[in-house]
A and B are shown apart, each in its own frame.
Chain A
Amino acid sequence: MTQPIPPSQRPTLLQSRADAELDRLREMLLEMAGQAEELVRLAMTGLADRDASRSKQVRRADDGIDALEVEMDERVLEFLALQRPVAGDLRLVFVTLKASNDIERIGDHAVNIAKATKRIASHPPLPDILEVREMGDQVLAMLGDALGALVNRDTAVARQVVAADERVDDLRRSVFRIVVSYMLEQPRYISPGLEMILVVQNLERIGDLATNIAEDVVFLAEGKSIKHAKLGDGA
């Protein structure tokens, strides 16, 4: 899902090469993003099913994202050195590099969830906590929306993602309270409860990283940073 520049806007051979390379960077980013989204989905399914076997699958898939990130770094460095982009091209390359780093971190958090799932599966099951599932659905939706906004340079959707992060934070606090109450009631819930707290911390970080990507979309499209600004402050 890339947005190639129309041929009418490619006047020179050199520029076509730059455009082709930008297209390639976009494709790689979307490939990474798709893999990371799938990884989070896999990790959350594994958690819901208490399926420890998913852990290995998630870790293996994360290696693919890591490899893409390394390749992305090399390509971006080469592009900066050879094409010296400015203006919109420069912002695109800058955002691509940052988003690729964020996506790689999302993969790592999915791996952390998968590892915690493996440990959770060896303990007595906690009562079902709906908020954990809702949190997983919420960060997956945020991730999908952030990536969609990146593809379409849709700042309205990007701002919705930024706003949605508050709900994730609220859910994390709720899960904390619920898990702690279980742990106080039943000592056997202490170990799985601690692991569940790790899971929601990782989910919250995924939400933060999706928010970073959404904020970068606004920077890409409008050239202004909305990081660390409250939405009511004109952001």
Chain B
Amino acid sequence: MTPPASVPVLSAEGLSVSFDGRTALSNVSLELPRGRIVSIIGPSGCGKTTLLRCFNRMNELVEGAHTAGAVRFEGFDLYAAHVDPVEVRRQIGMVFQQPTPFPKSVFDNVAFGPRASGFKGDLHALVEEVLSSAGLWPEVAAELDAPALALSAGQQQRLCIARTLAVKPSVLLMDEPTSALDPTATARIEALVHSLKGTYTVVIATHDLQQAARLSDLTAFLDGGDLVEYGPTETLFTNPRDPRTESYLTGRAR
């Protein structure tokens, strides 16, 4: 049963993260509404990636990481002792800055997750479905057995998105997903992300302010590990409340 739309898909409450005693995130609280695109922006080292990785428990893979506060997924504590982090990462998938296809065929890349989780249905149909969702099917349909590493960087990134979608997540986390791509490939990824809106909740950490402005419904601005401002993207980009946001967006030092 789908939870009611009023329950945020993900939420952070008083979330703080440190690495070897150094604070990366400080007392961050925010809610991510279902089916929306949320951008996280801020200067290098502000905690964008750390926040993103909190949402699928990837920080705990880092030695010396300490997380305090709560992260809730569909209202449940994501960090509760009985929660399986692997299942968390299936439901909350992640796409990284550099495309990371496996050294396998296009088909096997997409089929990898479903196979690993014991998928019993029509694998070919699933692969076609998610490659179509990722806008890649027309380009690779005739060469599903070709090595994924032979694809262009933009195609590889869309393949990675398809691979993430193949395990039917409800949230897609994207960490600078287009920073390694040219403008054309970037535009395709953005169109893809836009098409996923509604079906998936997408959270994008990005340095590209225009990308955040173009794509997202909501934008969070982090600075020095603090959540400075979070709200509708149009408000943040036209009339930010906090002078720190204004300074960052206009490129002026404080």
Contacts and interface: CB of A to CB of B under 8 A. Distances in A.
B239 A91 contact: yes
Contacts of A15: 250-252
Point out which of B210, B245, B249, B250 has the most chain A C-beta atoms below 10 A from its C-beta.
Answer: B250
A74 to B, nearest CB: 22
Contacts, number: 40
B252 A87 contact: no
B142 interface: no
Given A86-B209, A86-B213, A91 B238 contact: yes
Interface string A12-44: 101100100000000000000000000000000
Nearest to A18: B251
B104 to A, nearest CB: 40
Interface residues of A, number: 19
Given A86-B237, A223-B239, A11 B252 contact: yes
Contact of A10 (B209, B213, B252): B252
A85 interface: yes
B22 to A, nearest CB: 26
A19 to B, nearest CB: 8
Nearest to A224: B239
Contacts of B249: 86-87
A9 interface: yes
B240 A87 contact: yes
A5 B253 CA distance: 12
B250 A89 contact: yes
B108 interface: no
A58 B137 CA distance: 66
Contacts of B251: 11-12, 14-15, 18
A224 B237 CA distance: 14
A88 B253 contact: no
A90 interface: yes
Majority SS at the chain B contact face: helix
Given A11-B252, A15-B251, A84 B210 contact: yes
A11 B245 CA distance: 16
B246 interface: yes
A161 B236 CA distance: 29
A5 B247 CA distance: 12
B245 A87 contact: yes
B30 to A, nearest CB: 20
A17 to B, nearest CB: 11
A41 to B, nearest CB: 36
Interface in A187-235: 223-224
A150 B146 CA distance: 63
A86 B250 contact: yes
Interface in B174-232: 209-210, 213
Contacts of A14: 251
Nearest to A8: B253
A87 B253 contact: no
Contacts of B240: 87
Interface in B128-154: none
B252 A85 contact: no
Nearest to B252: A9
Contacts of A5: 252
Interface string A55-70: 0000000000000000
B213 A87 contact: no
A210 to B, nearest CB: 24
A91 B252 CA distance: 16
A132 B149 CA distance: 80
Given A86-B250, A87-B245, A223-B239, 20 more contacts: A9-B252, A10-B252, A11-B252, A11-B253, A14-B251, A15-B250, A18-B251, A84-B210, A85-B250, A86-B209, A86-B237, A86-B249, A87-B238, A87-B240, A87-B246, A87-B250, A88-B246, A88-B250, A90-B238, A223-B238
Interface of B: 209-210, 213, 237-240, 245-246, 249-253
8 contacts: A8-B253, A14-B251, A18-B251, A86-B238, A87-B238, A87-B245, A87-B250, A224-B239
A-B residue pairs, 9 tightest by C-beta = A223-B239, A11-B253, A86-B249, A87-B249, A86-B237, A15-B251, A87-B246, A9-B252, A89-B250
Interface of A: 5, 8-12, 14-15, 18, 84-91, 223-224
